[in-house]
Amino acid sequence: MVASGPAGRVAGCDTMVALGTATSSGATLFAKNSDRPPGECQPLEFVERAEHPPGASVRCQYLEIPQVRRTHRVLGSKPVWLWGFEHGINEHGLAIGNETIFAREPPAASGLLGMDLVRLGLERARTVDEAIAVLTELIEHHGQGGSGFREFEFPYNSSFLIADAGGAWILEAPGRHWAARRCRATDSISNQITIGSDWDRVSRELRAHAVREGWPVSEPFDFEETYRDVENVPRALSEGRLRCSRTRLADLSGRVDVAALRDVLRDHDVSGSRFQPGAEPESEAYYTICMHEGLSRTTASVIAPLHSSSALPLVWVSFGRPCSSLFFPVVVAPGLPEALRRGTDEPSDVLWWVFEKIALAVEAAPEKTDVVRAELDPIETELLVAGLDAARDLANLPPSDADAFAAGFMSDVAARVDAAARRALDAVG
């Protein structure tokens, strides 16, 4: 997501993928940092699979649309006041994350939010191919629009990175039009149109619409050249982050794992793993993958290994800025602990806010990062081992036992994370 202000100081998310050929385990790995307005709480939400009667509808953020007969289990990361998800994964190992993109084609005053589309895609699709079909049909039929921010009116267009065990696609959609391409072995998106003439699929009227609007149209058709808005949006917003994520992932090719993706999500450009203030908003260094400045902050992150097995998916999530937080395992199953799903509009003692307060302390005094990491690194290491063990156990359990195991496992994880977070807050307080 992206927020823009009077000075044009904007900031946004980063979503990335490493296919099985680029990972150490052979499994697809999906990851995202979600950047939202400072102090906007973003806990987790679990949605159970359901059967819906004929003629049922579903209320999204601004639109009510027809419901499908069957929806899937989904674990998503959701700003407290919104219906949709910034990112999520469903029971079939399908993961989706979205980004705001800036295009010549404006979004509508009302329509589906990118976050609505993430949730709808996860609830309705089992695979990448199904998700592309679901999302493009919704985009063409309902359009995109409505503000994704409470504080001001800001409709936006979206791009999506969609991944499963078999591969991944990038889908970029201005208005009711879209282009899509298969992901490379390592790939990422940020807050700009990235698909050029390398598209694999485009909407039927994409080129004709551009011609009618008088936009530049080359041959072969270059989607980025035609649709990207570079006049009203500074290139520094996204180009540095996109280059950084793509370069780091490419350099890791063949060795990408959960620990490596944690490091990428914690990247602060030349500052490495520790945030350092002082860059000017006109500089790429101001807009880092782990976001601390501007009108947005990183509020939640995910790393999702995507397997072809029928076992319950297990993912790694963090609250707040990943450099001052920890990644812990969560299963896409019932029994999500209250500590992980509770959210409040105002500062409180819920777990998400504990990590937000730690992040604020680090931003005020970056040297406190070492104090935070001394408290959180040991438990993060322990939970990495525990999560990998739990994933193996889930793969060997019958479905009748897996849900109960997952609920007990997540309860223990939540208690350990909560205790560690409060120790860290005390240490920097």
**What is the rounded distance in angstroms from the CA atom of residue 240 to the CA atom of residue 243?**
5
What are the tokens at 3? 């927020």
Q: How far apart are CA 234 and CA 284, in angstroms?
A: 10
Give dist(CA 297, CA 199) in Å, integer.
31
Task: Report in angstroms the alpha-carbon separations of 252 from 203, 303, 362.
Answer: 34, 16, 28
CB 325 within 8 A of CB 377: no
Query: Which residue do the tokens 């980004």 mark?
Result: 99
- Show which residues are catalytic: 13
Residues 228/232/234/239 CA torsion (nearest 10 deg): -10
Q: Which of 149, 219, 136 is nearest to 175 (CA)?
A: 136
Runs of H (alpha helix) within 187-312 = 206-213, 223-227, 239-251, 258-265
Helix ranges restricted to H, 271-329: none
Residues forming a β-bridge with 88? 76, 96
Angle between the 369-396 and 351-364 helix axes, to the nearest 10 degrees?
A: 150
